[in-house]
Amino acid sequence: MKNRKEILGLKFRPQNFSRKGVGTAVGTILIIAIFTAFFAVYLYMANNNIESRTKLNFESLSLMKLKSTFLLFNQSLGTTWLISTVQAVFITGDESVGCGKDDSRLSEGYWYQRRPDAARDGQTDSRGNPRIPAADKYNIPGFNPQICYPRDQHVKEYILKILDERDFLRLRQLRPEEAGGITIIIQRDVNDNEKVGATINMNLKDDRIESTFSQKITASYGNGVGVIDRQTANDNTIFTSLKQMAAAGRSVVESLSVFGDGRTGGPGPPPDPIGYGVQNQPSNTAYQSVYKDLIESTIRAASSPIPGGNIAIVTTTGLEANTGQTAGVIQLPRSGLVFHFVSMVTYSEPARYYYHNVAENKFEKKPIELTYKVEDYLPALSCVEYQEPAFPSGIALMNWQSPDDMMCCAGFLFSCGSSINSLPSTNQIATGGSMVNSGSGDDQSTCLNTLGGRGVQCTAAGFMIS
């Protein structure tokens, strides 16, 4: 039986080494050495691999951080443009597409405004200029009525103007610590270094506004070791029927301009319902109410179908005697009544977006609205129109506050026991009083002269002609 050393091949003989035993021992040592060398090489390579992977990972960290920060910032910027565009759309609607704001020929917010001191122009003025502008936002200065007629192009231009002029593009350059150590630079506007040099494309559609903001962004880290330099584009869609609202507003302007044409304030029947209305209403209040309904129904009809689903009309009316200031409506002072109305029309749609209320520094959900105003002066009653034979001596009794307390006589307007705005006191006869013929050619004398010696008394029941 072989001993332990023999089994291992290490046949050790103290006195004499056999050649075979030495060879086996050397072989064994060599094998161990080779295994050890392999193991060392493995460990070395493994460690090297780990080190290089770690180094690669550090590079990856910076690159991933750069890439991710760039993409996330671009997405954040897209959201910035969305919020900004929403605000610009809100402002555009609230500011009536800038009508009267970017030009002083109309008062602010008005799309249709008549000056009462000048004659009304028809479809064209004396120089052939059209009432409804062919392509411009406004009809020519001096046209009466003055009209703002914002087409789609003007709506788009105003939204872009708001974005440009109300600080929406004035985004501050970022400091590296505001981007996790990444340096981000957005290219600036060539004319204004404070603004982002973004190219904005906008498309108005019936139910939405599509916009694309394009800008160059550079992101870098480590003194330009890693750089991303790209032209990015952010597409946004705002669901609003602003385009349809503007179209409805233009339609209202056209309807009201036609509505005011050819009015004389003479007696009815229609097609001059204004004068006819005064004659037949129990009071001036009732007349204004009827007329207000007429105006509003005209606006609603012109707006139909109501864009966005809702329309609110706030109309204020006035009825007063004509003066020199309203000579463009009824030429001869004290000869009639001028009806004046201002309607504020607001189209609105369901609330989808948040409006930045700057005064209160709040974002509040509210509907996108388009608001505009229309104003006109119309002849409600022109006594000059009440002539014989229908009205002998030009006398027509009407109701101001009570039956027969207002009268046209010889082309002039008189009141009995009631006060008509802007009517001189000489034309307002107190209850129990009578007209006096002074022979000086005043309105009372002219009336009495026309009556040929008959008198006019103001009683509790109104004017009585003796």
Partner 1 sequence: MKGMNVSDTFWTLILAVFISVMIILGIFIWLQIHLPFFSTADPVSYSIEFVHVVNKPFMVTEVLAHVRFDDRSVLEQSIETAVTSPENASTTSLPRYLSDYLNAYDLREYQVSIKNGNNALMSFGSTKAKCGDNLDNPEGWCVSRFSFPSGVTSSCGTGRAQINPTQLTCDVTQRCCKEDRTASTGNTIVSCGPSGQGVCSEGERPFYSWAYEKIWGTTWKYTCEENRVDLGNPPECKAANGGNTRACCAPQTAENEVDAGLAVKSVVPLQYKQTTATLEVTAR
Chain residues in the site for partner 1 (CB under 8 A)? 1-2, 7-9, 24, 28, 31-32, 35, 39, 43, 47, 50-51, 53-54, 57, 60-61, 64-65, 68-69, 71-73, 75-77, 79-80, 82-84, 167-168, 170-172, 174, 178-181, 184, 352, 354, 356, 360-365
Nearest-approach distance from CB 57 to partner 1, in angstroms: 5
Q: Give yes or no for a contact between 368 and 348, defined as CB atoms under 8 angstroms apart.
A: yes
C-alpha distances in Å from residue 344, one per residue of 138, 249, 378: 19, 11, 18
Burial 384-413 (b: 16+ CB within 10 A, else e): bbbbeeebebbbbbbbbbeebbbbbbbbbb
101 C-beta neighbours (distance < 10 Å), count? 15
Nearest-approach distance from CB 23 to partner 1, in angstroms: 10
In a 10 Å sphere around its CB, with 0-12 CB exposed, 13-18 middle and 19+ buried, how is residue 360 labelled?
A: exposed
Angle between helical axes of 284-303 and 273-280 (0-180°, round to 10):
150
CB closer to partner 1 out of 144 and 211: 211
CB closer to partner 1 out of 72 and 312: 72
CB closer to partner 1 out of 78 and 130: 78
Nearest-approach distance from CB 6 to partner 1, in angstroms: 8
Report which DSSP code applies to 188.
B
CB closer to partner 1 out of 61 and 460: 61
The pair phi, psi for residue 93, each rounded to 5°, is -70, -45
CB closer to partner 1 out of 177 and 388: 177
CB closer to partner 1 out of 300 and 356: 356
Nearest-approach distance from CB 72 to partner 1, in angstroms: 5
Q: Give yes or no for a contact between 393 and 384, defined as CB atoms under 8 angstroms apart.
A: no
Nearest-approach distance from CB 184 to partner 1, in angstroms: 7
Q: Find tokens 């004396």 and name the residue.
A: 126
Nearest residue to 373 (alpha-carbon basis) of 85, 145, 118, 132:
145
Nearest-approach distance from CB 178 to partner 1, in angstroms: 5
CB closer to partner 1 out of 10 and 460: 10
d(CA 90, CA 88): 5
Nearest-approach distance from CB 40 to partner 1, in angstroms: 11
Nearest-approach distance from CB 97 to partner 1, in angstroms: 22
d(CA 269, CA 258): 19
361 C-beta neighbours (distance < 10 Å), count? 7
Nearest-approach distance from CB 176 to partner 1, in angstroms: 10
How long a stretch of residues is the chain?
466
CB closer to partner 1 out of 183 and 335: 183
CB closer to partner 1 out of 219 and 337: 219
Q: Give yes or no for a contact between 264 and 387, defined as CB atoms under 8 angstroms apart.
A: no
d(CA 440, CA 113): 39
